Amino acid sequence: MADKIVVEAAPRDSRGKNEARRLRVTGSVPAVLYGAKGDAITLSVNAKQVGQILRSATGHNTLFQVAISGKEQPAIVKDWQVDPVTGNLLHVDLLRVAMDVRMRVKVPVHTVGEPAGVKQQGGIFETVTREVEIECLPGEIPTEFKLDVSHLMIGMHLRVGEISIDANKMKLVTDPERVIAHVVALKAEEEKPAEVAVESAVPAEPEVIKKGKKEVEGEEGAEAAGEKQEKKK
């Protein structure tokens, strides 16, 4: 059984930018806890603890306990904001969960193996879908789905419906026909550089003409200057 993860939180009465800055200096960030038929409450939570959760293998699907005034309640991170420059956490939305009620979550999909279509046929492997949505109990959320792509040849693909799941524990919400990954021929890709080369060659002519014009203007200017000198004499 995995160790219980606890995030320390405290009720927060005041709001605004100044309050948010004060919290961040103390190692906390503003947060909101809502869901599971409970009232939404404003909190301050330990920024380091939330950051460790987001960087963990289960990421935002990590189930943890929010400790408020000595009482704990299960929750997951629903949304978060980070500073685009420093990367520091700015705000967190926490979703309160009922352990006996199914919920919808997005789970990452990772492919393993080298497709035969790449190795033997020189094709290109492309990942189209990187996560799928499922419905399950909070305690049954998987860390990831892994799919072997080593058998894929050019023109072949994997679809969401090919993910192996325990139908008793979870249900796929994403369209089962949606493509996860495929192998395509290289021919279409090879034609693009030639087109780019032609396009890049086009602007060269106006530049030469422009340059030539300046040279002509320069010659005419020199002749005009010579004529002025003659007049002065």
Q: What is the pLDDT of residue 104?
A: 94
Grouping H, G, I as helix, E, B as strand and the rest as coil, residue 223 is helix
User: CATH number of the domain at 6-98, please?
Assistant: 2.40.240.10
Token couple for 66: 């929010």
Whole-model pTM above 0.75?
no
Superfamily (CATH) of domain 104-189: Ribosomal protein L25, C-terminal domain (2.170.120.20)
Buried b (16+ CB within 10 A) or exposed e, 191-225: eeeeeeeeeeeeeeeeeeeeeeeeeeeeeeeeeee
In this model, does residue 231 exceed pLDDT 70?
no
Grouping H, G, I as helix, E, B as strand and the rest as coil, residue 55 is helix
Tell me the pLDDT tens digit for each residue of 165-214: 999 999 999 999 999 999 999 865 445 555 554 454 444 444 444 444 44
Each domain of the chain, given as residue ranges in start order, spans 6-98, 104-189, 203-232
